[in-house]
Chains A and B, each alone.
Chain A
């Protein structure tokens, strides 16, 4: 866990520079149990609901954002991993990775309307209301599907690269950017012709994107490298690498575009990064193994899907601007102490292994999850 440093600095009096009087630059609102391995989130502004794609449960949890209760579960295809909501039609879309399809749900009735076949292992989707388009990144197919939001017809299938997933759109430049996790790259397309107009090599494990059209910049997460790349959309080149918390995987923009929020899967936190200064302003603790993240346009609260703790966190970022003190990573209190005794099942043999099996040896315990 990490925290922003000293907060009693007279140059940044709490209450004066924050939106509300608080001693922390964040506030925890709720942590709501949902299905297994929640990844994507979409907000229904009109009905005050969140739709959470729970990939290991093969359903979408529907959360009432006023009562913070789960009010329904909607069965989808296998492994719904990303999700979006089109306010004009009221349709919710899930990218069902293991079914190679997009499930379409009526957000009013909470019933499945239909499902559309896409490429292999769709793992990211973005809908663009002004284009009336849904873009789907197909990781195993190495393609991007383009679907008409009204007719639900696939209007194009565009070659991308291995691990195609997250997609960003710059309506000003009419540019579509497809981020490829395995290839560690991004492809840039003309939004009308789908002709590729550029390509970038990025850090390893590229997996999320946010675009700030007025600055002509994209922010792309490199999960294994532990950075966010600031990309110049006019020159199609990386301008800066911004370090985040551990194993960043999700990204969204604050509505004002003055900061981006990045979930740190390895740290159970989200980083607040300044758009103009490229500095990590703070880290906000959330649940275990966070991934998907959105900002609720109704109240500016941040919604985070925690794959590890199988919860939806709702938090508030109370910073009005960059704080004077940098983020200070807090060390684990276990450093310098003895590892507690353990007895765990060996996956290969089925036998119990204990810490005594590694007595008088140096070793690394690597905590991981398969998702």
Chain B
């Protein structure tokens, strides 16, 4: 979906790793190898951004508009994420 949306609309899905409880790099490396992930990944080991936003679970998706406004929050199911992306692009 990440690759498809990037090709379709230029939308970037930026992964933010949280809650590893330990040095995150080896865990993220293993995760990326397992799932073949290549896109942007940010590390938030203290879950500071996540805490500010009130993230309570994973996965949590936050859809951000081009002016920086948050349009959707949560959207963990595929149908919810697709709806959030459609709304971001005015397709809904």
Contact = CB atoms under 8 A, between A and B. Distances in A.
Contacts of A344: 16, 42-44, 49
Interface string B1-41: 00000000111111111111110110110110000000011
Interface residues of B, number: 59
6 contacts: A268-B56, A307-B19, A338-B68, A346-B42, A347-B42, A365-B62
Nearest to A365: B62
A355 B47 CA distance: 16
B59 to A, nearest CB: 5
B53 interface: yes
Ranked nearest first, the 6 interchain pairs of A and B with the lowest CB-CB distance are A268-B56, A332-B73, A370-B31, A36-B21, A266-B76, A347-B41
Interface of B: 9-22, 24-25, 27-28, 30-31, 40-44, 47, 49-50, 52-74, 76-78, 81, 84-85, 88-89
Interface of A: 1, 36-37, 56, 224-226, 246-247, 264-269, 285, 288-290, 307-310, 331-340, 342, 344-348, 353, 355, 358-371
Main SS of the interface on chain B? mixed
Nearest to A204: B78
A357 B13 CA distance: 13
Contacts of A224: 77-78
Nearest to A288: B56
B13 to A, nearest CB: 5
Contacts of A268: 56-57
A335 B72 contact: yes
A368 B21 contact: no
B69 A337 contact: yes
Contacts of A364: 11-14, 61-64, 81, 84-85
A366 B21 contact: no
B69 A246 contact: no
Contact of A367 (B16, B20, B81, B89): B16
A74 B67 CA distance: 51
A268 B88 CA distance: 26
Contact of B16 (A264, A308, A368): A368
Given A289-B19, A346-B41, A226 B66 contact: no
A337 B70 contact: yes
Contact of A369 (B12, B19, B40, B52): B19
A366 B70 contact: no
A249 to B, nearest CB: 10
Nearest to B40: A346
Nearest to B79: A226
A350 B7 CA distance: 26
B70 A363 contact: no
A37 B70 CA distance: 30
B40 to A, nearest CB: 7
Given A225-B77, A308-B58, A332-B54, A358 B12 contact: yes
A347 B14 contact: no
Contact of B68 (A267, A333, A346, A355): A355
Nearest to B81: A364
A362 B59 contact: no
Nearest to A307: B19
Given A342-B49, A344-B49, A368 B14 contact: no
Contacts of B11: 362-364
A267 B56 contact: yes
Given A336-B70, A345-B43, A347-B28, A368 B12 contact: no
